[in-house]
């Protein structure tokens, strides 16, 4: 079995109320990156943040973080586009990534492509009501085709993200038409609240994806659990040949205290070791994903 890719999803839009170790600034993300690399991660996924934790959408905020991380680690870097930028044009949503790609000091390795649109309203199970009722993450086919072509022209690897089976089917159509090249780096999204847009974080929810993965398309699939604990599915994912994408951006992991991202990564590295699977270095990850 090929080595395990671990992607550290260090902050997303998470605040620090439940876990104080969520990194926000470029310096904090960089220190987290060093520790996550030592713990077994080979990819860093981050959202640029302001000093108060608010989202940062300008190119310089992203570039400062990428440049700082590049100076001290060999991690592959995967910045976000950001759900909060969906009202911008496709060109505007991708502009920071393409601008950074022009300079080796700030060049990322990936950009995400969420392969469809979905409601992302927050549901409160205690109150049995939605806290929001008008939130959508919109990614039209036209937008996604622009992303795919622009990323290919820039020499960057797309990370195709599936929130449900329709996203997976769209991904496979993009592969069929040549818009996505093999091996596809595919993120399978599970959700446990407060957003219920993804598959449930259960064996059945994961199997719904896995049962539809074609055998004749080379796919390196990884799993997220937005809003929930991925540890309970870790052994299943790892023994099935999948990869892991995890971090405090998705869930604070208060079930095990208030871990840092590196401490969390180390737990998945240990699970992999217990079933006889080694973790991939950044160089090995490049080979697995066809980036060399």
Q: Which whole-number Å values give the CA distances from 229 to 25, 101, 276, in the listed order? A: 25, 33, 22
Mean pLDDT of the chain: 96
pLDDT in tens, the chain (292 residues): 899 999 999 999 999 999 999 999 999 999 999 999 999 999 999 999 999 999 998 999 999 999 999 999 999 999 999 756 778 899 999 999 999 999 999 999 999 999 999 999 999 999 999 999 999 999 999 999 999 999 999 999 999 999 999 999 999 999 999 999 999 999 999 999 889 999 999 999 999 999 999 999 999 999 999 999 999 999 999 999 999 999 999 999 999 999 999 999 999 999 999 999 999 999 999 999 999 8
Topology of domain 6-288, CATH: TIM Barrel (3.20.20)
pLDDT of residue 212: 97
Say whether pTM exceeds 0.85: yes
pLDDT of residue 83: 59
Nearest CA-CA partner of 42 in 250, 289, 271, 280: 280
How do residues 218-274 score in pLDDT, each as one tens digit? 999 999 999 999 999 999 999 999 999 999 999 999 999 999 999 999 999 999 999
Strands (E), the chain: 6-9, 43-46, 76-79, 110-114, 118-119, 123-124, 129-130, 136-137, 157-162, 184-191, 199-200, 219-226, 243-246
């Amino acid at each position: 079995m090929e080595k395990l890719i671990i992607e550290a999803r260090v902050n997303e839009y998470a605040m620090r109320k439940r876990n104080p170790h969520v990194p926000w600034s470029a310096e904090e993300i960089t220190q987290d990156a060093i520790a996550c690399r030592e713990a077994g991660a080979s990819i860093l996924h981050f959202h640029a943040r302001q000093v108060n934790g608010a989202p940062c959408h300008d190119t310089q905020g992203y570039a400062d973080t990428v440049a700082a991380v590049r100076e001290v680690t060999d991690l592959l870097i995967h910045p976000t586009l950001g759900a909060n930028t969906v009202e911008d044009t496709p060109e505007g949503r991708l502009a920071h990534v393409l601008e950074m790609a022009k300079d080796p000091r700030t060049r990322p390795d990936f950009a995400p492509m969420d392969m469809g649109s979905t409601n992302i309203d927050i549901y409160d199970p205690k109150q049995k009501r939605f806290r929001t009722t008008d939130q959508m993450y919109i990614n039209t086919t036209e937008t996604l085709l622009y992303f795919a072509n622009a990323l290919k022209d820039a020499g960057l690897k797309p990370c195709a993200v599936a929130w449900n089976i329709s996203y997976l089917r769209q991904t496979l159509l993009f592969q069929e038409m040549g818009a996505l090249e093999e091996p596809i780096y595919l993120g399978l999204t599970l959700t446990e609240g407060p957003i219920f847009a993804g598959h449930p974080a259960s064996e059945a929810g994961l199997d719904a994806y896995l049962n539809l993965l074609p055998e004749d398309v080379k796919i390196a699939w990884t799993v997220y659990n937005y809003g929930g604990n991925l540890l309970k599915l870790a052994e299943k994912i790892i023994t099935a040949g999948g990869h892991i994408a995890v971090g405090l951006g998705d869930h604070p992991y208060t079930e095990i205290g208030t871990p840092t991202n590196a401490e969390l990564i180390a737990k998945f590295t240990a699970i992999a070791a217990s079933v006889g699977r080694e973790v991939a270095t950044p160089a090995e990850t490049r080979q697995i994903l066809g980036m060399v």
